Structure 1
Amino acid sequence: MTEPTGWRKSSRSGQQTSCVEVGALADGAAVRDTKDRAAGYFVADRKQWSAFITAVKTDRFER
């Protein structure tokens, strides 16, 4: 597997340091904790990532 590239955090995070970052993969995305980048990351394929983003945008998670 190739390493994720272009790590970024949400612009809504502002200057916060307790965030997650998303990196691009050829067929999906990787997510890591900004407080502990050395801990690694988890990956989601394109279909899983799309389902997650749709769930977030349609408020399927409690805040």
Structure 2
Amino acid sequence: MMTFSVPSMSCGKCTAKIETAVQEMDPTALLHFDLQARTVEVDSADGAEEVLGAIGKAGFDAQAA
């Protein structure tokens, strides 16, 4: 499980975009969002760099938390 900080994530629409982008890369990825903390936990077979790339593709800056 990897945790990422996504400071600009603030609503359900944001989480949906991130989830779609990550699951396009890895359809089996599981995501858990904490909007208050602005973090996302990702369980994926892909590595952190790939997940960060997918989050970036969705239009969000992120970093490992």
TM-score by length of 1: 0.31
Bigger fraction of residues in strand: 1
Query: Whose RCO is larger (CA < 8 A, sep 6+)?
Result: 2
